Amino acid sequence: MGDSPDIDHGAIRALSERIQREVDDGRIPAAQMALALNGELIHSENFGDATDHIRFNVYSCTKALIAGVVWQLIGEGSMSASTPVTDLVPSFTAADGMTLEHLLTHTGGFPYAPLAPPRWDTREARLRQFGRWNLQWEIGERFEYHATSAHWVVAEMIEVTEGRDYRDVVRDRMLIPLGLNEFTLGSPAGDVGEVAELKLVGHVPTAQEIEEVFGIPNVDLGEVTPEILLGFNEPSVREVGVPGGGGVATARSLAMLYQGFLHDPDEIWNPEVLADGTQNIRCTLADPLKQIPANRTLGLIVGGDDGNAHLRGMGHTNSPRTFGHGGAAGQISWADPESGLSFGFVTSGVEKNFIRENRRSVAITSRAGSVVAT
């Protein structure tokens, strides 16, 4: 591993100890964490049953791969943030007036549009399903997280633009150029290698616990339920390559993906488009769950300077410019342009208590952000 006088090794030990505490408490069966700086890994570590070779379901951390492809296509002039969805996906008739920007900022108005086996197995079946989708509210009217629906449409827009399977595009445009050979999207089971088994841990929060945090006794988690997440234990589900959440990766590959966003060593992005995707906050509509501005770029999230960065997954210690995208079950990935640090954390524990999971993620991210002084 590389080293630097800017690295606080005591902070790394504190980070490791915090993660190990979760393992010791039975909350994390297996986990990895990785820190990268100046284009190189500076530390990686396994916890619980994890090994160097095991990979993890990273859920919505996958969305950064799709964003990276879109930014390349925008830089090449093949599409733009204002490209109408129906220009490329005419079967999605309810999307009249919707743009690529609406999809990537979660303002399209169809967060609960259904797509599941067997309809997600083939492109033809997906297109037929798009034609059955309806909007829950007007396009651009409000923000609500589209866990998978919007990215299925983005994947189709990529396929139409490139003339080939979106999974191949992700591999050729993102994974190979960035050297992310431990990150896959939609590969057959034999090509992925060992994947950590997802396991339920903890207890469902009580109504009182939920009300203390959210002011109401019940919160609708939509499709991101423990039961749905455990479905990704099935090789057939991972092979689909769900574009909004089907990636399989190590913590090292997440940390290095974000070093790619910071430095773009092979110049695979137009610099202005890359800066836009990582820093330009296009959506400040309120997140209905957290009751704070969503701070969405064209595909990612920016921490911001309003004191709520920790609620957006960027911790208490990173700069306001920190950008990234976490994943269900507590997966973490981000980069801080001020410190140059990037971080990846993956776990196989599907925590029933989502409040506890969020607090754990804030604690881990905040400790990681302390590793390098800004």
| pLDDT tens digits, 265-323 | 999 999 999 999 999 999 999 999 899 999 999 999 999 999 999 999 999 999 999 99
Q: Where are the domains of the chain?
A: 9-369
pLDDT of residue 1: 42
Res. 348 pLDDT band, cuts 50 70 90? very high
Per-residue pLDDT, averaged over 335-357, amounts to: 94
pLDDT band for position 218 (cuts 50, 70, 90): low
Mean pLDDT of 328-347: 97
Retrieve residue 124's tokens: 């033809």
Are 349 and 29 a contacting pair, CB within 8 Å?
A: yes
- Per-residue pLDDT, 2: 43
pLDDT score of 97: 97
Given this model, what pLDDT does residue 45 score?
Answer: 98
Which contacts of 308-312 are long-range, i.e. CB under 8 A and separated by 24 or more positions? 310/362, 310/365, 310/366
CATH 3.40.710.10 fits 9-369, yes or no: yes
- Burial of 338 from C-beta contacts in 10 A (0-12 / 13-18 / 19+): middle
Distance CA 178, CA 253 (A): 9
pLDDT digits (tens, 9 = 90+) for 77-99: 999 999 999 999 999 999 999 99
Distance CA 264, CA 270 (A): 10
Sign of CA dihedral 372, 271, 152, 181: negative
Q: Give me the mean pLDDT over the 179-197 stretch.
A: 87
Q: How confident is the model at residue 114 (pLDDT cuts 50, 70, 90)?
A: confident
Q: What is the pLDDT of residue 189?
A: 58
Instruction: Give me 119's structure tokens.
Output: 């309809």
Average pLDDT of every residue of the chain: 93
pLDDT-wise least confident of 23-27, 65-69, 145-149, 226-230:
226-230
- On the question of pLDDT at 212 being above 70, the answer is no
